[in-house]
Homo-oligomer: A and B are copies of this chain.
Amino acid sequence: MALSPPGLDAFLDKFEETLEALVQSEVLFIRLIHQDLVTAGGKRIRPRLVFLASRALGGAPFEMELALAVELLHSATLLHDDLIDDAETRRGKEAAFRKYGNAVSVLSGDFLLSRLLHVIAKTGRMELVERFAQVAKTLSEGEVLQFQVAALEDYSLENYERIITAKTAVLMELSTEGPALLKGVDGEVREALARFGLFYGQAFQMRDDYLDLMGTPEALGKPVGGDVREGKATLITLLLMERFPEVREVLRRKGRREGDLDRLRMLAWESGVAEEVERRIRERALLAAAALKPLPPSPYKEALEALALKEAERLS
């Protein structure tokens, strides 16, 4: 099966083991947070990207360190995000901060960032440190921008593209470009992997945002409409806003009036906006798959393509 090419399962098993050892701490509250969130699983999409990109190149040195580093950055962001999102559940579990307070979540996230620094130092590659510096900068700017856009109601498709690129796509880009960097592969192959990660990340976030409103709570493992309740506009609400001025009002009152969310969903279905968003996601996923052209054929390349195409139809 294209989504599970040779060696992937073993790599992911080894990943879990190494991650667990890496985030050990003598401090009890840090261990509790990590049991709750970091080592509790999750889809491990970023480590998967690292593995596939590495093997599509015939294997890159330090692929495990890179996989750990990208996942640590992602996990730290989730911990720092719990404050923002106010999502009642994340990965189907009670959000960590409700149990131990915001402070412990934030500081446990900082602990993860320190471990990230440790694993990238192991590679001995300063170029990788610098790339993580850029990505971490863009990522934090993207998160703040999202907050700012909601606070100032500065809604636009341009801002939406900036946000999904900064908060999601650049880390996916590093996940797939990183193996080329570590292997010393330059030129169109490295560029192809970078472009794949960027487009894939955008498609991924567009799909997540779409499901946040249009999915089912059962499939998502959390209530729908989280973005609306935080006043965050996503592609679907932005396109709806262009046609129905009332949507801006719904966002302003954070979907608090009864029937607000159902109304948005109905408008999206009936106006064809839902279909339009699906079309744009599919388009982005196809760009990702097409970007891989310069790579030689391999089951790993196929698995990357399959991952991208999955975004065109994913329901959870």
Contact = CB atoms under 8 A, between A and B. Distances in A.
A145 B118 CA distance: 21
Contacts of A129: 117, 120-121, 126, 129
B30 A141 contact: yes
Chain A interface size range: 35 or more
Contacts of A77: 110
Given A111-B144, A120-B129, A126-B126, A80 B106 contact: yes
Interface stretch (A20-28, A46-54, A207-215): A20-28
Number of copies of this chain in the oligomer?
2
B117 A136 contact: yes
A277 interface: no
Contact of A111 (B114, B120, B130, B141): B141
Contacts of A145: 27, 29
A145 B121 CA distance: 26
Nearest to A112: B140
Interface stretch (A96-104, A241-249, A257-265): A96-104
B26 A110 contact: no
A137 interface: yes
B27 A108 contact: no
A295 to B, nearest CB: 29
Contacts of A121: 126, 129-130, 133
Nearest to A111: B140
A78 to B, nearest CB: 12
A201 to B, nearest CB: 18
Contacts of A147: 29, 101, 103-104, 107
Contact of A133 (B76, B84, B114): B114
Contact of A148 (B27, B84, B134, B141): B27
Nearest to A26: B141
A113 interface: yes
A110 B143 CA distance: 10
A151 B101 CA distance: 11
A102 B117 contact: no
B133 A29 contact: no
Interface in A1-51: 25-30
A147 B103 CA distance: 8
A217 interface: no
A63 to B, nearest CB: 19
A101 B143 CA distance: 13
B133 A115 contact: yes
14 contacts: A29-B147, A77-B110, A83-B103, A83-B106, A104-B144, A107-B143, A108-B144, A111-B140, A111-B141, A114-B133, A115-B137, A117-B132, A121-B133, A124-B126
Given A107-B144, A111-B137, 17 more contacts: A25-B141, A27-B148, A30-B141, A83-B102, A84-B103, A101-B147, A103-B147, A107-B147, A110-B140, A111-B144, A113-B136, A114-B134, A115-B137, A117-B129, A117-B132, A117-B136, A121-B129
3 closest A-B pairs by beta carbon, nearest first, are A114-B136, A117-B133, A114-B137
